Copies of this chain bind each other. A is one copy, B any other.
Amino acid sequence: MQSVEHLQELFLKYLKNELFDQSPRELYEPVNYILQLGGKRLRPVLLLMGANLFSEEIDHALPAALAIEIFHNFSLVHDDIMDEAPLRRGQPTVHIKYGQNAGILSGDAMLILTYQYLNQLKNPTQLPTILQIFNQLAIEVCEGQQYDMNFETEESVEIAAYLKMIELKTSVLIAGGLKIGALIGGANEKDANDLYEFGRHIGIAFQLQDDILDTFGDPEKFGKKVGGDIAQNKKTFLLLKSLEQARDQDRVDLLEALSDAADPNQKIEQVTSIYRKLKVQEQASELMEDYLKKAFIYLDRVQVEDARKVYLRNLANQLMMREI
C-alpha cells in the first residue's frame, strides 16, 4: 500500500516523462503549460489508490491516471474560456496566455490525448468496459458544465437540480476514476461499483462543504476570501435553500440584498445574516454529513481487508478537512 505522497511523486515522475515535444509547438505548448501548473493531482492519485486497493502493481495504472488528469485539465481550459477566467492556480489561463484559438484547439487535442492514454491498458480486453465508463463520465462533465451555465440565467433552481449539477460537474470524474483504477487493479464489478459510489458521495459532500466554506470558512485556513459566492450572486446550496425558505420580510431583505451591486461587503454581510437566521449552514452541513456517511458505508462494503483502505479513508478525511 502506498501513501498519498508516494503516489503523487510516482505520478509526477511519470507525467514529466510524458510531456509533449511534438510539432506543431503552438498546439502542444499550452498542453504542457496547463499540465505543469501544479495542483494536488487528486484525481490521478485517487485512480491509483483505487488500483492499489486490489493490487501492488500499480505502474500499469499510470497511463489511465494521466488520462484522467489530462481530461480534468482539458475541462479547465475550455471552462476558463467559457467563464472568461483570467487566472488558474494564480497563473494566466491558457486562453489569456496563448489566445482563445489556442485554448480551443489545445483543449481538443487534450481530449484526444486522454483517449490515447486510455488505450494503453496492460489488459486490452478491459478496454470496452473502461472506455464505456470514461465516455459516460466525460459526457456527464459536459452536461454538468451546461447546467451550471444554464443556472446563471435561470430565476429559480431546484435543490435537486443543483445537487445533480454538482454531481455531474465534480463527482463523476472522481467516482469514475476510482472505478477505472479499481478495475485495472483487478476488482470485480461489485467492488468497482461500490468505489464509484464512494467517490460520487465524497465529491458531492466536498462541493457542499465548498459552498459552506465560501461563506462561513476561516479565510486563513480556506485560503480564499470569504463571501465570493455571495458577491457574485452564485447559486450555491446556501442561496437556493434560502430562496426556498425565506418568507415575508426575510424574503424582501434577501432579494434586496441580492440586487445590491453597490457595496459588496455590505451585501455579503446582509446575505450572511439571512443565512444565519434561516440556518441554511446547518442544513447544508447536515446534508453534507449525510453524503459523507453514505460514502464511507460504500467504502466499508468493498471486499478488501480494512488495512488496505487506510490511505484512501485518510485522504478522504484530509480532503474534507481541507488539509490537502
A259 interface residue (CB < 8 Å to B):
no
A146 contacts B24, C-beta separation under 8 Å: yes
The minimal Cβ–Cβ distance linking A26 to chain B, given in whole angstroms, is 6
A104 contacts B104, C-beta separation under 8 Å: yes
Copies of this subunit: 2
A105 contacts B128, C-beta separation under 8 Å: no
CB interface residues, A 130-150, toward B, < 8 Å: 131-132, 135, 138-139, 142-143, 145-147, 149-150
Contact of A143 among B24, B101, B119 (CB under 8 A): B24
A116 interface residue (CB < 8 Å to B):
yes
The minimal Cβ–Cβ distance linking A109 to chain B, given in whole angstroms, is 5
Considering only CB atoms, which chain B residue lies closest to A111 in the complex? B111
Determine the chain B residues whose CB is within 8 A of the CB of A131 once the complex forms: 115, 119, 127, 131
Q: How far is the CA of A132 from the CA of B124 in the complex (A)?
A: 12
A72 interface residue (CB < 8 Å to B):
no
Determine the chain B residues whose CB is within 8 A of the CB of A109 once the complex forms: 139, 142-143
A105 contacts B142, C-beta separation under 8 Å: yes
Contact of A26 among B82, B111, B139, B150 (CB under 8 A): B150
Q: How far is the CA of A264 from the CA of B180 in the complex (A)?
A: 58
B111 contacts A112, C-beta separation under 8 Å: yes
A27 contacts B146, C-beta separation under 8 Å: yes
Q: How far is the CA of A119 from the CA of B136 in the complex (A)?
A: 12
The minimal Cβ–Cβ distance linking A254 to chain B, given in whole angstroms, is 27
Q: How far is the CA of A132 from the CA of B109 in the complex (A)?
A: 15
Contact of A115 among B78, B81, B107, B115 (CB under 8 A): B115
Determine the chain B residues whose CB is within 8 A of the CB of A145 once the complex forms: 105
Q: How far is the CA of A53 from the CA of B79 in the complex (A)?
A: 43
The minimal Cβ–Cβ distance linking A183 to chain B, given in whole angstroms, is 15
The 10 closest A-B pairs by CB, nearest first: A27-B146, A124-B128, A82-B101, A24-B146, A112-B138, A109-B142, A116-B135, A119-B131, A112-B139, A127-B127
Q: Which residues of A contact B (CB under 8 A)?
A: 22-24, 26-27, 78, 81-82, 101, 104-105, 107-109, 111-113, 115-116, 119, 121, 124-125, 127-128, 131-132, 135, 138-139, 142-143, 145-147, 149-150
